[in-house]
Amino acid sequence: MKPKKVPMRMCTGCMEMKPKKELIRIVKSPEGVVSVDLTGKKSGRGAYICKSVECLDKAFKAKRLNKNLETTIDEQIYNNLKDEIVNE
């Protein structure tokens, strides 16, 4: 029997391919609300990021999250995402 395929995703911060379960999904809902998706099942446009604040900082400074989510992320949303990643 073939071994099960592990879904791989690229971290938006460090640009490394990692297994999907090791990453956090940040999603922009159809209403335009940006939030952390811990289940990985929320509908909307998603971006994956490592479970480290450094990767979130890199992605925010390079505006990669804005590009991937096709929206602008302001300081308040960024700080909320940072708090959720730290508290996880």
How many CB atoms sit inside 10 A of residue 12's CB? 23
- Of 10, 13, 11, 12, nearest to 58 by C-alpha is 13
d(CA 21, CA 80): 22
Residue 3 belongs to a domain? no
Query: What pLDDT score was predicted for residue 87?
Result: 81
Instruction: Work out the average pLDDT over 31-53.
Output: 90
Cβ–Cβ < 8 Å for 68, 82:
no
- Of 20, 72, 64, nearest to 41 by C-alpha is 20
Residue 38 belongs to a domain? yes
Domain extent for 49:
8-87
Domain count, the chain: 1
Is 88 a residue whose pLDDT tops 80? no
Is 25 a residue whose pLDDT tops 80? yes
Pairing of strands 17-19, 34-37: unpaired
Residue 77 belongs to a domain? yes
Residue 1 belongs to a domain? no
Residue 75 belongs to a domain? yes
Predicted TM-score (pTM) of this structure:
0.86
Question: pLDDT-based confidence at 2, cuts 50/70/90?
Answer: confident
The CATH number of the domain where 33 resides is what?
A: 3.30.1230.10
pLDDT tens-digit map of 54-80: 998 999 899 999 999 999 888 888 888
